[in-house]
Amino acid sequence: MRQDRQRRREQGLLRDVDEEIDALIDQQPQESASNSDVEIFADDGNEERGESSDEETVSNADSEDALPNLLQWSNTLSEINVEEFSVRHGPSRNLGDNATAKDFFNLFINSEFLDEIVWHSTAYARSKGDATFVTNREEISAYLGLNI
């Protein structure tokens, strides 16, 4: 990619956008306290105007002091009143003390859903040329149970 860009630069085929991209590609990584790679794109051209980023930081700090900061950390704890959760939650069906894993499985995967899987599995096999493929609800249920 660099060779192609170099060739285009020598032939004068680079557009303004290409020159900006070229400058970004050729720019050396900057030393920074953060691990962000976004900083290279945040350059607003201050160096071209002769301004330093330190001066800008000081002027931004002055303007920030002028604005009231409504959200501040504090070491003082205050009481927070949270309304009691009143919506019914938890299990909505009582399967009894003798419920099996299959009973819980059937809460999520019912017979109608298994019948749909059987129908689509058979239809898929037929579309691939297998006229002898057959399956049923019990096979699909066992297959799903093994894979869970």
Q: pTM for the whole thing? A: 0.39
In a domain, 39, yes or no: no
Q: Which is more confidently placed, 95 or 20?
A: 95
Q: How far apart are CA 34 and CA 36, in angstroms?
A: 5
Q: Which is more confidently placed, 8 or 142?
A: 142
Question: Cβ distance 22 to 5 under 8 Å?
Answer: yes
In a domain, 22, yes or no: yes
Q: Which residues neighbour 8 within 8 Å (Cβ) at sequence distance 6 or greater?
A: 14, 18
Closest CA to 24 of 1, 40, 8: 40
Domain residues for 119? 109-147
Q: How far apart are CA 128 and CA 132, in angstroms?
A: 11
Question: Cβ distance 146 to 124 under 8 Å?
Answer: no
User: What integer best gives the mean pLDDT of the chain?
Assistant: 74
- What average pLDDT does range 87-96 have in this prediction? 81
Q: Which is more confidently placed, 127 or 31?
A: 127
Residue 18 Cα to chain centre, angstroms:
31
In a domain, 98, yes or no: no
In a domain, 130, yes or no: yes
Q: Give residue for tokens 């290279």.
A: 40
Domains of the chain: total:
2
In a domain, 47, yes or no: no
* pLDDT tens by residue, 45-79: 544 555 445 555 555 555 555 556 567 777 888 88
DSSP track, 34-56: S--S-GGGG--SHHHHT--HHHH
Amino acid at 5: R
